[in-house]
């Protein structure tokens, strides 16, 4: 019996979630096959083949998979996963889009957002925006899991490359077509694998004043985040949203600035190593989970912080 792990990538490199998924499935102790589906992505397959514990890499290259659609990738996954006991993907927007459709084609259910593997058929995952954790047992023979990458340590071991095979697959036609992507242009690090994240909330009051946290982020070489309240108020675009309905993050250092700490935001940051909260309301719930809290007017505190970072020689620029 095998685990089929679908690797996420940009056709050149593996996504940061990959090593975490490898770490997650290690306890299942089964033969591991990694699928790399894309267009001109042999380099990604080679990269995956060098990770310890990977038994085989399946490389599926097709123009259709340059921007994979669920209508085409899910049936291909269902063909390839036919004899596998586990099918796993990261709980990213790609995994969320592709995996449930595949489960339905295989006639089984799925567990989303797995944060712990209790036993070979029993898993934990958060429900109610992280307000509770549910343990579920899968009764199906095939187990389909989307995995919250930040909940598992990354596997790092390397090996002499395992075989890369090219299985034959049938890609169905479909009426859906990809038109374009508008990638958020940013010189800052990506939220999901940043060491430091600086996030701003409604306390920033306006789009212009949100620049204050952007400035701090740049000084620290940090990724830029935001609460849902700040995104909904139009201070910043939605791809910066941290929380249960945005991105789940796990940096070494997280600054929550002018963020009250709504449960849906807290659910997205609780794996951060150190949380710093700066808020003028001393009763804000964010202080209950912050390692270090500073009560004060952020419009005074943040410029002071930037100044003192410079004085201490801790700025990246």
Partner 1 sequence: MKILVTVKRVIDPYARIRVNTDQSEIETRNVKMAMNPFDEIALEAALRLRESQIAQEVIVLTIGPEVCQETLRHGLALGADRAILVRSDDAHCSFNRAKILQKTILQENPDLVLMGKQAIDDDNNQTPQMLAGLLNWPQITFASQLEISGRELTVTREIDQGLELLQTTLPAVVSVDLRLNQPRYASLPNIMKAKQKPLQIIELDSLGLNLQTHIKMVKIKNPSRRPGGMMVESVTALLDKLQYEAKVLP
How far apart are the C-alpha atoms of 163 and 185, rounded to whole Å?
A: 36
Report yes or no: 90 and 17 within 8 Å, Cβ to Cβ. yes
Does 23 interact with partner 1 (rule: CB under 8 A)?
no
Contact status: 294 vs partner 1 (CB under 8 A): yes
Positions in 175-214 near partner 1 (CB under 8 A): 175-184, 192, 196
Q: Using CB atoms within 10 A of its CB, is residue 268 exposed (0-12), middle (13-18) or buried (19+)?
A: buried
Contact pick of 12, 288, 297, 310 for partner 1 (by CB under 8 A): 288
When asked if residue 138 is in the footprint of partner 1 (CB under 8 A), the reply is yes
Query: Is 242 strand, coil or helix?
Result: strand
Can residue 148 be called a binding residue for partner 1 (CB under 8 A)? no
Contacts (CB under 8 A) with partner 1, residues 93-132: 93-94, 96-105, 107-113, 122, 126-132
Task: Name which of residues 297 to 316 contact partner 1 (CB under 8 A).
Answer: 301, 304-305, 308-309, 312, 314
Residues 49-88 that bind partner 1 (CB under 8 A): 67, 69-71, 74
280 closest CA partner among 263, 264, 259, 255: 259
Three-state DSSP class for 27? helix
DSSP state, residue 140:
S
Answer for which of 12, 52, 137, 206 binds partner 1 (CB under 8 A) is 137
CB of 27 to partner 1, least distance (A): 17
Identify residues 209-238 at the interface with partner 1 (CB under 8 A). Answer: 228, 232, 237-238
Q: Is 260 in the site for partner 1 (CB under 8 A)?
A: no
Nearer to partner 1, 170 or 184 (CB): 184
Query: Which candidate, 144, 119, 155, 148, places its Cα nearest to that of 26?
Result: 155
Residue 120's Cβ-count burial label (10 Å; 0-12, 13-18, 19+) is middle
Whole-angstrom distance, CA of residue 165 vs CA of residue 59: 6
Among 245, 280, 285, 299, binds partner 1 (CB under 8 A): 245
Number of chain residues interacting with partner 1 (CB under 8 A): 85
């Amino acid at each position: 019996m095998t685990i089929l792990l679908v690797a996420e990538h940009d056709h050149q490199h593996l996504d940061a979630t990959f090593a975490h998924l490898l770490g997650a499935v290690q306890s299942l102790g089964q033969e591991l096959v990694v699928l790399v589906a894309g267009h001109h992505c042999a380099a990604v397959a080679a990269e995956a083949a060098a990770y310890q514990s990977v038994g085989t890499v399946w490389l599926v290259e097709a123009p259709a998979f340059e921007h994979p659609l669920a209508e085409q990738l899910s049936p291909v996954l269902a063909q390839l996963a036919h004899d596998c006991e586990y099918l796993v993907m990261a709980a990213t927007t790609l995994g969320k889009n592709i995996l449930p459709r595949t489960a339905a084609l295989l006639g089984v259910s799925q567990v989303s957002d797995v944060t712990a593997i209790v036993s070979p058929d029993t898993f934990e995952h958060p429900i109610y925006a992280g307000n509770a954790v549910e343990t579920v047992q899968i009764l199906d023979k095939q187990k389909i899991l989307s995995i919250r990458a930040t909940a598992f340590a990354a596997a790092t071991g390397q090996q002499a490359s395992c075989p890369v095979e090219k299985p034959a697959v049938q890609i169905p036609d479909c009426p859906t077509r990809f038109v374009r992507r508008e990638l958020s242009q940013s010189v800052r690090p990506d939220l999901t694998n940043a060491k430091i994240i600086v996030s701003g909330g409604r306390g920033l009051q306006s789009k212009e004043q949100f620049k204050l946290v952007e400035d701090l982020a740049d000084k620290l070489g940090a990724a830029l985040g935001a609460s849902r309240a700040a995104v909904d108020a139009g201070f910043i675009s939605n791809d910066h949203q941290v929380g249960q309905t945005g991105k789940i993050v796990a940096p070494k250092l997280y600054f929550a600035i002018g963020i009250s700490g709504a449960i849906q935001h807290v659910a997205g940051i609780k794996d951060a190593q150190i949380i710093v909260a700066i808020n003028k309301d001393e009763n804000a719930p964010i202080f209950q989970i912050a390692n270090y809290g500073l009560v004060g007017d952020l419009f005074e505190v943040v410029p002071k912080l930037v100044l003192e970072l410079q004085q201490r020689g801790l700025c990246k620029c």
